Amino acid sequence: MKLAEPIVGWKSEIAAIRRDIHAHPELAYEEVRTADIVASKLESWGIPVHRGLGVTGVVGTIQGKTQNGRALGLRADMDALPMQELNAFEHASKHPGKMHACGHDGHTAMLLAAARYLAEHRDFDGTVYVIFQPAEEGFSGAKAMIDDGLFTLFPMDAVFGMHNWPGMDAGTFGVIAGPVMASSNTFEIRLEGKGAHGAMPHLGVDPVMAAVQLAQSFQTIISRDRDPLDPAVLSVTQIHSGSADNVIPNDAVLRGTVRTFSDQTLDLIEKRMGEITEYTSRALNCTAEFNFIRKYPPTVNHPREAAFCAQVLKQIVGDNQVDETVRPSMGAEDFAFMLKEKPGCYVWIGNGQGEHRSAGHGLGPCTLHNGNYDFNDELIPLGATYWAELAKQWLAEPPA
């Protein structure tokens, strides 16, 4: 493994920053303290800072020794999750109901270390923009930064992202071309029937039966309408109706999620769900309101950039430590919005199996969005080295 020695030397200092951020988690668009820390560190290393994109976003500009007209962006997310931490170690969350359970504290730390290295050495041509993004966890912080002018104020030729991945061995990476994370979408269907006594169903119109019929019929979209070679998930996760055992209620609500790797498949699913809702509710004498909310598009890596990232990673950790056949995830990531605007690639860095956690961690697994999760600080020099090498080598390449 070939790590940048200065970054290795800063490991304890950067890990302390990471643990401080972990102990003070902030939710979407509330990352004021975290942004203050990021901006202060960048400025102390001589990096000009722009604040306020996407409410709390921070962008640092690092100029190389010469300018060749090329620029790239490196992105880390900063927000925490609205959930209770179950760990009891010293850097556990000090704010009940808030936790860095997805490793965004570690992502921020790795990019800070890389920014410091690039600012101190500047042994590259062109410009590196370090992007610290708010509100990844379901609130479209990437899109908010883009809408506020990210790519206009900071014109870049490509943008890159990285996420820790529990269960993948520390010291390994996963990178593939094409879809790596799914789109994230939600739906809500409100059915209105006619209430009646449960012993006299003929006097009412039962929205519960309509809800059950819809939940079953939706699965025919996946099994009969969708190309079986194109992955997709349609899950009805909530059905709410009624308040008494002997009363047929007036209404029912269904909610759930849809995940796809392509916009075309998503179009198909939304269209068929609308049709099934309309005709099924009509057949059962109910009225229906169908709402489909597209949240995050699929995260799709560009082939050239994915191959380039794999090449850089192999130089650092060796060919056998880079998995170019890793299976995509049906989870979602709002870095997808950036990849729709610019070429780029999103890689996974192995977070290990959880053995790195300090004494005081809970009994549960060290998986994402789990109350027992903690980022592996051993990844800081590795992830930061990757960021630095990627930036230097990509900027040295002639334009495609």
> Is the model's pLDDT at 397 over the cut of 90?
no
| Same-domain check for residues 291 and 366 | no
358: confidence class by pLDDT, cuts 50, 70, 90: confident
Asked if residue 322 lies in contact with residue 172, where contact means CB atoms within 8 angstroms, the answer is yes
Task: Give the pLDDT score at 364.
Answer: 87
Q: Which of the listed residues 241, 268, 296 is the one where a domain comes to its end?
A: 296
Task: Give the pLDDT score at 399.
Answer: 64
Q: Which of the listed residues 275, 296, 317 is the one where a domain comes to its end?
A: 296
Cα 246 to Cα 248: distance, rounded to the nearest angstrom: 7
CATH number at residue 21: 3.40.630.10
> Is the model's pLDDT at 355 over the cut of 80?
yes
CA angle (329, 331, 333) in 5-degree steps: 110
| Same-domain check for residues 37 and 155 | yes
| Same-domain check for residues 29 and 144 | yes
| Same-domain check for residues 11 and 158 | yes
Task: Give the pLDDT score at 324.
Answer: 97
Q: How much of the chain, in percent, has pLDDT values that exceed 70?
A: 99
Total structural domains within the chain: 2
Question: If you ran DSSP here, which 8-state letter would residue 225 be given?
Answer: I
360: confidence class by pLDDT, cuts 50, 70, 90: confident
State mean pLDDT over 88-96.
97
| Same-domain check for residues 238 and 320 | no
* Coil/strand/helix, residue 392: helix
State mean pLDDT over 71-100.
97
Mean pLDDT estimate for the chain:
97
Q: Which of the listed residues 254, 272, 296 is the one where a domain comes to its end?
A: 296
At which residue do the structure tokens 């979407």 appear?
A: 28
Task: Give the pLDDT score at 37.
Answer: 98
> In 3D, which of 80, 165, 66, 49 has the Cα closest to residue 122?
66
| Same-domain check for residues 83 and 142 | yes
| Same-domain check for residues 221 and 151 | no
Question: If you ran DSSP here, which 8-state letter would residue 183 be given?
Answer: -
Asked if residue 55 lies in contact with residue 29, where contact means CB atoms within 8 angstroms, the answer is yes
pLDDT digits (tens, 9 = 90+) for 287-343: 999 999 999 999 999 999 999 999 999 999 999 999 999 999 999 999 999 999 999
> Is the model's pLDDT at 254 over the cut of 70?
yes
CATH number at residue 205: 3.30.70.360
* Coil/strand/helix, residue 151: helix
| Same-domain check for residues 146 and 201 | no
| Same-domain check for residues 72 and 33 | yes
> In 3D, which of 28, 80, 82, 19 has the Cα closest to residue 57?
28
Structure tokens at 224: 């009969």
Task: Give the pLDDT score at 400.
Answer: 62
| Same-domain check for residues 369 and 258 | no
| Same-domain check for residues 10 and 158 | yes
Cα 94 to Cα 76: distance, rounded to the nearest angstrom: 23
| Same-domain check for residues 262 and 315 | no
Structure tokens at 304: 């050239």
> Is this model's pTM higher than 0.85 or not?
yes
Task: Give the pLDDT score at 271.
Answer: 98
Burial of 325 (0-12, 13-18, 19+ CB in 10 A): exposed
> Is the model's pLDDT at 359 over the cut of 80?
yes
393: confidence class by pLDDT, cuts 50, 70, 90: very high
* Coil/strand/helix, residue 133: strand
pLDDT digits (tens, 9 = 90+) for 73-82: 999 999 999 9
- Within 10 angstroms of residue 119's Cβ, the number of other Cβ atoms is 18
Beta bridge partners of 248: 196
Question: If you ran DSSP here, which 8-state letter would residue 205 be given?
Answer: B
385: confidence class by pLDDT, cuts 50, 70, 90: very high
Domain containing 270: what range? 184-296
